Amino acid sequence: MSALLEVRGLAKRFASRAGREPSPWIIQNLSFSVNEGEFLTIIGPSGGGKTTLLNMIAQIDCASDGEIRFQSQIAPVNDLKALKPGLDCKIGYVTQEDNLLPWRTCIDNVLFPLQVQGKLNDETKARAQNLIRAVGLAGWENHYPHELSGGMRKRTSLIRTLVYDPPVILMDEPFGALDAQTRLQLQDDLLRLWNLGRKTIVFVTHDIAEAIALGDRAIVLTRQPSQVAGEHRITIPRPRDIRGIMTHPEFVDLYQRIRAQVQ
């Protein structure tokens, strides 16, 4: 396995505005890499710059220093205008808020990336329908986001990214705001979908159990400014049973070790 995505000595602070100092360093000297086909989870305290990290990888925000390399492309540093959001659709991003377009129905939200990429055809439409069925949204296609529950909106936003099949998908606490039951169901859905395609996923969360249950490898971040505090390989065999995994001996052991590292 080769490193598909590499982060080296990354640092970030927000630029100064008129009459104000620049913000303190949010991320400093952060390095890690992601292999192709790997499910990497990143655990960090809230307010620890996790979202900022993903924003920089997705190129909707700029690093202040360091290097983010995807394949052979290096993201621009300190140059907002040179950013290429999503790197020509190679990096998908499931944000913390679902960011659905409120004037589009569920299915039209899912088709949005295909439509703007000019890839809307019978084949991709069938793919969208399959995804809708796979996450249990059948029958809700023609409803507007405000008519859907939080879990259904989350599913819609998840498959909106899966539908155009980007090689890397970033996920920012996508299940953070959901109740425990819906959350388990969605984690289960995600693992099932991932097993079919084995995309490269970078999944950010503050929930240790979620990080272990989903990932191949977990990285623990420190408090601000964020650095890597620890790295853990997770060898619990797949396919995993998301509801029974808590009793797996490796899970219990990892949980203790990661718990000790999260400040």
Spatial separation of the C-alpha atoms in residues 87 and 92, rounded to whole Å = 9
Indicate the residue among 82 and 246 with the shorter CB distance to other proteins: 82
- The region of 38-46, 83-91, 194-202, 238-246 touching other proteins under the rule CB under 8 A is 83-91
- Tell me the closest approach of the beta carbon of residue 231 to other proteins, in angstroms: 27
Q: Does 124 bind other proteins (CB under 8 A)?
A: no
Question: Within the chain, where are the H helices?
Answer: 50-57, 106-116, 122-134, 150-162, 180-197, 208-214, 249-261
Among candidates 21, 23, 31, 7, which has minimal Cα distance to 222? 31
In this structure, how many other beta carbons lie within 10 angstroms of the beta carbon of residue 106?
25
Task: Give the burial class of 254: count Cβ atoms within 10 A of its Cβ; 0-12 exposed, 13-18 middle, 19 or more buried.
Answer: buried
Nearer to other proteins among residue 34 and residue 91 (C-beta): 91
On whether the CB atoms of residues 45 and 263 are closer than 8 A, the answer is: yes
Q: Given candidates 14, 25, 144, 255, which one binds other proteins under the rule CB under 8 A? A: 144
Residue 31 vs 117, nearer CB to other proteins: 117
Of 99, 121, 142, 235, which one interacts with other proteins (CB under 8 A)?
Answer: 99
CB of 194 to other proteins, least distance (A): 20
Q: Which residues bind other proteins (CB under 8 A)?
A: 58, 60, 85-86, 88-89, 91-93, 95, 97, 99, 101-104, 112-113, 115-117, 144, 146, 160, 164
